[in-house]
A and B are shown apart, each in its own frame.
Chain A
Amino acid sequence: MALTDPTDWPGSMPDLRTIDNLLRCSICFEYLNVAMIIPSCSHNYCSLCIRRYMKYKRQCPSCNIEVSASELCNNRTLDELVKTFVAVRPYILKICKTFDAENQEGCPSSDKDLKTSKQQVKSGKSQVFASKQSPKKSTLAGHFTAVKPSKTAPVSNSEPYQAKTSADDFNVLDDDFVSPKLKSPSRTDRHSSNRLGTRPADDRSLVNQINDDVIDITEDFGTERPTASTSSSPAAGQATPIRRQATPRSNQATPSSNQAMPSCSQTTPSGSQTTPSGSQTTPGGSQTTPGGSRDKAECPVCGVPVPTKYINTHLDACLKRTQQTDTNKRIQKRKRIPAMVWKLVPDKEIKKKMRHYNLSIKGKRHELIKRLDEFILMYNAQCDAANPKSAEEIAKEVEKMEQLKTQPPQLKEAKVFKLKIEKGQTEDQMEKSKQEYLSAHKDQFSQLIAVARARMKGVKNKSSKTEAAGPNQTDASQDSNEAETSTSSEDSTASDRPVGSVTENSAVQELEDVMVLEDEVEKQQEDKRIPRDAAQDTSQEDAESDRTGSLFSEGSGGEEAMGNNGESEEMVMDTSESSLHMKQDDADLMASFSGSDVHGQADCRILVPSSPSVASKDGMEDSQSQNMTRAKNETSSVKSDPAPDSLEPLCIPESPLSVVAETRRRKRKKQDCGSNASDSGSSFGDGDNVLRRSKRERKMVK
């Protein structure tokens, strides 16, 4: 469906905008779908919207009044109103736009007319409207016919009315405004049918009189009056003015009034859908009464003429029957599913419930609960609808929505070359996606391998002497040569290279913030005559603590934002943490490769993309930072390493760094956590180092 908005209406018709707005739910900004009213403040919302909101706060979104979900009531009139309005909206819109374009002066009046037209439609009396509109509006009437042919068709052809004067038109409008107040469709009908049975003589005379009248409402009203059989009687009360207005018109156009009569008899059944039998017999009853009305009376419930003696027993039976159907209806109305405290419900019970509702029971417990919650929400919302969907339908919808939600938008996925592995995947699936990823980026990998081999040759020539020495030394040499793969080395502090390079990167990111911060601090502290350096130092320290804090919070924030599978904590690694791992495990990894030849290195590279580290939640950020780090390391390697790296391909699908990091991470998981303490200690030192370094850089930039 196309997007609709209150601003679709021309600005010259603010009232229409208001109407449009009023028919919308203020939570979803759509037209009300199963409107629920809050009785205490009379605000309306979609059933689903307000129920969903009730999970957050138990109050009215518009006025903050306290509400509980059980207080919500249906507002079917509003539902009907919305339904009708949405149906006629395009036509009204079209007309409004043409009017607006044609003639700016004509707008206010047309606006008013259109509003009344909406009232007409609402009260199900569009035919009266259609028959009495000026030619200008007859187009609109035509549109109505298109929308609701059954209602308008019989009368829309009544041409004579279209030649009316504008004054007459006004009268009609007045009448129509009065009509909804006087008559609520179904109830009065039932009333009139009751009366018809008991007072046949009156009815007959009334019907004769009404024949002169145009408006069906007046007829209904007339039948309701017990003794006021004449229109001139003062007891006719409210009905009288209508008739007075109506009479001259009927004099003017007698033939048309006859034309309009059939519509009267047709409206009656349509007006009272709830009691079809009663209203349908209304005309019949009044016609048959002349025959044998003396010894037979019409049953007020079912409308069948019954001998007067048996009327009581018949009435009892009739009432019993209607009561039964009432209870049936009540049973038919679906019961809502009560809210549950899932924490107290065991897995088994939840699964049983879900099976009962045809929901799939795949996934972890919290996923199940989420799914079931969503289902219950939609189910309860559907309970409010006039024709609720079946539980199976809702279950299907819930699962479909869930699928859509877990699928990230297509656009995004196309841009990110990442190996995605979700936590819930099986081994086979993971293997498959790995293979796919490998084949997709084969070219780039082979390129990388070639580059690495070329470099390794140089390394071999250079470090042939050092290879004979202990593993630690080998580590260092390999590391410095292989700037691309290695993020950090054991002896980096000695060579003044950044250790926690990933952290460093984030530190660089934070640098700007720190600068802003420093400036502020400086401003304030200059006033206090505090030496500038000291101020900077303190701010640096503060910034550092702030930075570590924000790093962690960012990590968790990113996870939250991603939302889909926030539970995959294992995958989610704080950047600083991962750097730590790298450092710690670097030695192991490098040790394992210490005696390795070119092939060994190549293997290590190939391993890289297949590692699930890529799937980490903060992947985007991660890869970015890693890319940056790599760039940095490259520059540093240019300094330390005589063999230049300039041939490196620019578009690398996945930084191999992350792969190495992943293998390390995995290794680490298997290891005991005993070494944690020392790690963290050193990492703090590294952080300091990084900061100092970044500061220096900034100064250089300055």
Chain B
Amino acid sequence: MATPWPMQKRLQNELLHLQRDPPVGISVNPNSASSTLTLWSVNVVGAPGSLYAGEHFQLQFTFGKRYPFESPEVIFIGGNIPVHPHVYSNGHICLSILTEDWSPALSVQAVCLSIVSMLSSCTEKKRPPDNTFYVKTCSKSPKKTKWWYHDDKV
């Protein structure tokens, strides 16, 4: 109540939780979320047994001022962007919980786990069919894209 932004306290809570009790294969980069708390980078390891087993990926979370009520912006960054039918080569992710299906009951941890599970359920490593076009025309923030979620298999 006392803090000007309700998001700050919640983010602190989430960070604390993730640092103390991280799920397997997920770790927060401690330097990334140092001062402002609004930009995190999270290291994710592909789940064993999946096509991405052992691969290391980096996710970038950007939290807006209305964070728990509005979804964070999540993209893959770094050199290794997974080749996946729902991940564009610029790191944008087509995942419904990142936009319209977002709920404040979700957390960074939940998002990371969904992304890992999305990667795990992939059967063939390939880019989305419209990758070239999208990467050329898209805005920098995936939140500005009007996503069309048509494939719930992968």
A residues in contact (CB < 8 Å) with B: 3, 5-7, 11, 26-30, 33, 49, 52-53, 56-57, 61-62, 64, 397, 401, 404-405, 407, 409, 411, 516-517, 520-521, 524, 542-543, 546, 549-550, 553-554, 557, 561, 563
Q: Is the CB of B140 within 8 A of A3?
A: no
Q: Is the CB of B137 within 8 A of A61?
A: no
Q: Is the interface of A mostly helix, strand, loop or mixed?
A: helix
In the complex, which of the residues A5, A397, A521, A543 has the most CB atoms of chain B within 10 Å of its own CB atom?
A5
**Are the CB atoms of B144 and A553 closer together than 8 Å?**
yes
- The answer to whether B4 and A5 touch across the interface, beta carbons within 8 angstroms, is no
Contacts of A33 in B (CB 8 A): 1
A207 to B5, CA, bound (A): 58
CB proximity of B132 to chain A, nearest CB, Å? 6
> Does A520 contact B13, Cβ atoms closer than 8 Å?
no
* Among B5, B68, B104, contact of A405 (Cβ-Cβ < 8 Å): B5
Q: Contact check, B132 vs A520: say whether CB atoms are below 8 A apart.
A: yes
Hey, which chain B residues are within 8 Å of A407, CB to CB? Answer: 4
In the bound complex, residues from chain B placing their C-beta under 8 Å from that of A404 are: 3-4
| Inter-subunit contact B132/A29 (CB<8 Å) | no
| Known pairs A3-B9, A3-B12, A5-B20 / 10 extra A-B pairs, C-beta < 8 Å | A3-B13, A7-B21, A27-B105, A29-B107, A409-B36, A520-B132, A549-B139, A550-B140, A557-B139, A561-B65
Interface range on chain B (Cβ under 8 Å from partner): 35 or more
Q: Is there an interface contact between B16 and A30, defined as CB atoms closer than 8 Å?
A: no
Smallest CB separation, A199 vs chain B (Å): 52
Closest to A11 in B: B21
A-facing residues in B119-145 (Cβ within 8 Å): 132, 135-137, 139-141, 144
Q: Are A553 and B139 in contact (CB under 8 A)?
A: yes
Asked whether, in the complex, the Cβ of A7 is within 8 Å of the Cβ of B17, the reply is: yes
Inter-subunit contact A542/B136 (CB<8 Å) = yes
Q: Is the CB of B10 within 8 A of A29?
A: yes
Does B31 sit within 8 A of A, measured CB to CB?
no
Closest 8 CB pairs of A and B: A404-B4, A61-B105, A7-B20, A26-B105, A61-B103, A29-B13, A27-B104, A7-B21
Could you list 22 examples of A-B contacts with CB < 8 Å? A5-B13, A5-B16, A26-B105, A28-B9, A29-B107, A30-B9, A33-B1, A52-B69, A62-B103, A62-B105, A397-B1, A407-B4, A411-B35, A520-B89, A520-B132, A521-B132, A550-B140, A553-B139, A554-B140, A557-B139, A561-B64, A563-B65
CA distance A542 to B6 in the complex (A): 41
Residues of B within 8 A of A49 (CB): 68, 104
User: Which residues of chain A are near B65, meaning CB under 8 Å?
Assistant: 561, 563
**A62 CA to B3 CA in the complex, in Å?**
25
Q: How far is the CA of A57 from the CA of B104 in the complex (A)?
A: 10
Cβ–Cβ < 8 Å partners of A56 in chain B:
69-70
User: Which B residues touch A520, using CB under 8 A?
Assistant: 89, 132, 135
B16 touches A64 (CB 8 A): no
A207 to B70 Cα, complex, angstroms: 61
B68 and A28 contact, CB distance less than 8 A:
yes
A550–B21 CA distance with the chains assembled, in angstroms: 39
A516 CB to closest chain B CB (Å) equals: 8
Does B14 count as interface, using CB distance less than 8 angstroms?
A: yes
- A517: chain B residues within 8 A (beta carbon): 135-136
Please tell me if the beta carbons of A64 and B21 are within 8 angstroms of each other in the complex. Answer: no
- Cβ–Cβ contact B104 & A401, under 8 A: no
Residues on the A chain within 8 Å of B17, using CB: 5-7
| B103 proximity list for chain A (CB < 8 A) | 57, 61-62, 64
Instruction: Answer whether A27 and B132 are a contact pair too, CB < 8 Å, given A5-B17, A404-B4.
Output: no
- Return the contact of A26 from the options B9, B20, B104, B136 (Cβ within 8 A): B104
B20: nearest chain-A partner, CB-CB: A7
Report B1-51 residues with CB < 8 Å from chain A CB.
Answer: 1, 3-6, 9-10, 12-14, 16-17, 20-21, 35-36
State in angstroms the CA–CA spacing of A549 and B132 once bound together.
Answer: 17
Residue of B nearest to A402 (CB): B4
Residues B42-91 near A (CB distance < 8 A): 64-65, 68-70, 89-90
Given A28-B68, A56-B69, A62-B103: A557 and B89 interface contact (C-beta under 8 Å)? no
Nearest B-chain residue to A59, judged by Cβ: B103
Residues of B within 8 A of A524 (CB): 132
Say yes or no: A28 contacts B10, CB within 8 Å.
yes
A612 to B130, CA, bound (A): 45
Nearest B residue to A543 by beta-carbon distance?
B136
B68 touches A7 (CB 8 A): no
Chain A residue, CB-CB nearest to B35: A411
- Nearest residue (CB) in A for B101 is A64
Nearest CB of B to A554, in Å: 7
Across the interface, which residues of B come within 8 angstroms of A30, CB to CB? Answer: 9-10, 13
Contact between B104 and A546, CB atoms less than 8 A apart = no
Residues of A within 8 Å of B16, CB to CB, are: 3, 5, 7
Name which residue of chain B comes closest to A521, CB basis.
Answer: B132
A546 touches B35 (CB 8 A): no
A556 to chain B, nearest CB (A): 10
A550 close to B10 (CB less than 8 A):
no
